[in-house]
Structure 1
């Protein structure tokens, strides 16, 4: 598939790497020649130096025959204009990154009237992800599947946990509702476990089930489900804008710390119910004076990764609540894991997952639709939900008779409103929504699970 990417920032570079690794023909347009050359040297892509909103540059890059055109520069207007021009000259599907909150209420109009196929907002998606994580404060990560009918939780097994030493096939003896443990991380090893797998202290497990079943399991296993009623947001950038709105709508107490007076005043005018404080975000004495240790959740959301690391480590040292941190780059993530700062938001990963799902769906336009893609455990595992088409080869055959690729699990099936945890005699039907878990990358259709 021919894919053109405009903009070699954090998201653009990540997409170049991941989409080229999946065998796509990727062309990058970037005005900074030294940045373009560095990315070309480290990835199997081609590139063009220039403005991504230039008609001549887009023609030279081949936008008229592009299957997917993605504009992810730092300028919303440039992204929108690039996509409009690309669509006009023949690009089949266009994606624009649009971050400005002022555009968020007009996205539908812009898409429909200007012909942009998809507009995506990293900060709004990050805020949505944060809200999900706050529902389960002791979970390392939280994702929604099946149109928010079910959740995926990542949990750590402590020495005192009732899961410590349990064989998975006996999980029903201690859990009153049906859930599935579908991935276990033990040190550097990752398992898609069978029923004979025994859980152990310090394991990280990925578990899924309906929202009610997951909530019940979370409480029964001894994870403290403390309500998050208050949150301190350190950094008043765009994520804080979207997050504050969601938190206030949920009747939460919000305090924002922002070192830029103009930003602080704007937030104060936009959200009079929130407390907005102008002050230095990394000044520990100042943060203590503003009550950082008294909030149920502290979120480090400045524009600088290093500052967020410092703020989070300090918050964790004096606050036993939920500590969350936004990271633009992933180099510091191993350090954070060592320090136990588990709740990490990486906007570029959220956006990359969405865009890669769209690209794979376009490749497989006639097959089973890919509804969601979640890449877990440093992208080493993929959990994918497909809506099964009438032409699929996996239908009407007992699962035990399907010849599937190694290290793959058919985790659960949503049939109408019924959640099914399939056994060997169950069959997959047309229109089922099926979640599969696999080590294999670049699965585009549910039929790809067959040998």
Structure 2
């Protein structure tokens, strides 16, 4: 941990009730759950794999025979070929003894029915993936609890937040938020002209620009470094930062970005997602232009996007992009119905001078290829939905999409027991055994998330997010009492 006397940053973060189901505070032991997942597409299979890795008992219901076979061959889970809206299939999956049901299909009606049935079986926690915005906009007739849902996951919101994360921190190569977007996790590729370059972390924490910044890992020439106070950030490094939202402008200055610079974005698409992105960006940046390939949908967009220029045309038409002055665009965001169209329009926008291109793609094929040929960011709504559900179940979940997850770094989520060696001591004392191998990235305490310093004292029942090299996992777990204290790694 950085040996620093700076106060820890704290953000309010209401803790989900689900955590109480698998952690018993009185005994300090992990209590595993029986979880039923409806749907074995990208969302459901990702959930099953991760939650199985946590040690929970998983049952999956899926209608598609091939998906059932593939999931059964890949994971040690109970697979039921059937429908989540069929009580008999739910009984075959063990709903009578289930602790949680996660309805993750792309069909709202199936997810609603599954949750209503689960309520009849008194399943305590019922999470549903819902596309209909009425369930989150306060419509009294469409309250989620009326349908037996205890937690709604709205894919549109996850996609929108992913775009905003990238736009509000230009040039970031990784972006994730915690605690209702009040804690930011970002990664940048460092260049020699950035103010942060050639400085050690102790110096940064004593700098007003960096006193709320925590560097949890550095990727350097394919090697991963867990930093210490004397670690120097060098050009070419890709450090992973955690900082509170109110420190954003200061962190941007450290990486050479002018937070006060005027920003222009072009949004291309014929979807409600595209309209919502344009509307949200209008509140955050100076200029937004909307391009719609569908004339009828474009007319609808024009009635909803007041103060935004709406153009009709294809994102793959260079004349349309020139009309939108794409060469002056800081961001080009493609959110049409068609993945190929989004990829091609981003590549064309980049070739015409757009600074950053963001493509929304609904599958995980060829993502590395798309990034290697010039697209800056690929946003996969289905993977974001899976991540959103995992964050609801596992507070502080760190996305497996981050570059750091392609290394030997594990992200552990650990509870502090009353008799743990790490409890009741400042981290600069208790963390000496794993210094340089592991680092505490954040602490969830009651309804707050804390960015720690060397003076932070861990208390019983704190949930601690630890970034660690693989060689440090056992030593870290011993600091927290035993291996059973760990909710396990989020490194798949």
**SS of match in other structure, 2:59:** strand
For structure 2, which runs of at least 5 residues remain unmatched after alignment? 1-32, 483-492
Query: Partners of 1:402 and 1:256 in 2: how far apart?
Result: 51
Hey, what does 1:86 align to over in structure 2? 118
- Deviation, 1:243, is 1.9
Q: Is the 8 A contact 1:411 1:435 kept in 2?
A: yes
Q: Is the 8 A contact 1:373 1:382 kept in 2?
A: no
Hey, what does 1:161 align to over in structure 2? 194
Q: Is the 8 A contact 2:423 2:460 kept in 1?
A: yes
Change (3 A) 1:147 1:270: closer
Change (3 A) 1:73 1:262: farther
Q: Aligned match of 1:142 in 168, 171, 175? A: 175
Q: Is the 8 A contact 2:414 2:480 kept in 1?
A: no
Query: Partners of 1:186 and 1:308 in 2: how far apart?
Result: 32
For structure 1, which runs of at least 5 residues remain unmatched after alignment? 361-369
Larger mean Cα displacement after TM superposition, 111-120 or 269-278? 269-278
Q: Aligned match of 2:81 in 49, 54, 63? A: 49
Hey, what does 1:127 align to over in structure 2? 160
Query: Partners of 1:450 and 1:408 in 2: how far apart?
Result: 16
- Deviation, 1:218, is 1.9
Hey, what does 2:184 align to over in structure 1? 151
Change (3 A) 1:289 1:107: same
Q: Does 1:397 align with 2:425?
A: yes
Superposed CA offset, 1:76-100 (max 9, x none): 1221111111221232211111113
- For residues 165-184 of structure 1, what are the structure 2 equivalents within 5 Å? 165-172=198-205, 176-178=209-211, 179-184=213-218
Q: Is the 8 A contact 2:421 2:430 kept in 1?
A: no
Hey, what does 2:65 align to over in structure 1? 33
Q: Is the 8 A contact 2:442 2:449 kept in 1?
A: no
Query: Partners of 2:63 and 2:139 in 1: how far apart?
Result: 27
Q: Aligned match of 2:382 in 344, 348, 365? A: 348
Query: Partners of 1:404 and 1:36 in 2: how far apart?
Result: 46
Query: Partners of 2:341 and 2:473 in 1: how far apart?
Result: 35
Q: How many residues align?
A: 440
Q: Is the 8 A contact 1:402 1:450 kept in 2?
A: no
Change (3 A) 1:403 1:37: farther
Q: Is the 8 A contact 2:416 2:480 kept in 1?
A: no
Change (3 A) 1:215 1:377: same
Query: Partners of 1:250 and 1:174 in 2: how far apart?
Result: 28
Hey, what does 2:453 align to over in structure 1? 422
Change (3 A) 1:201 1:402: closer
Change (3 A) 1:74 1:49: same
Q: Does 1:116 align with 2:146?
A: no
Query: Partners of 1:450 and 1:418 in 2: how far apart?
Result: 22
Q: Is the 8 A contact 2:166 2:172 kept in 1?
A: yes
**SS of match in other structure, 2:375:** coil
TM-score by length of 2: 0.77
Larger mean Cα displacement after TM superposition, 286-295 or 72-81? 286-295
- Deviation, 1:182, is 1.2
Hey, what does 2:490 align to over in structure 1? none
Change (3 A) 1:151 1:47: same
Q: Aligned match of 2:54 in 10, 19, 22? A: 22
- Deviation, 1:419, is 6.4
Q: Alignment RMSD, CA only?
A: 3.6
- Deviation, 1:145, is 3.5
**SS of match in other structure, 1:245:** helix
Query: Partners of 1:107 and 1:334 in 2: how far apart?
Result: 41
Q: Aligned match of 1:377 in 403, 411, 414? A: 403
Superposed CA offset, 1:322-344 (max 9, x none): 32222333332322443453333
- Deviation, 1:449, is 4.5
Q: Aligned match of 2:352 in 310, 318, 323? A: 318
Superposed CA offset, 1:235-278 (max 9, x none): 13242233233223447543332334443343333334433334
Hey, what does 2:309 align to over in structure 1? 275
Query: Partners of 1:350 and 1:261 in 2: how far apart?
Result: 30
Higher relative contact order (CA 8 A, sep 6+): 2
**SS of match in other structure, 1:201:** coil
Change (3 A) 1:339 1:402: same
Query: Partners of 1:223 and 1:269 in 2: how far apart?
Result: 35
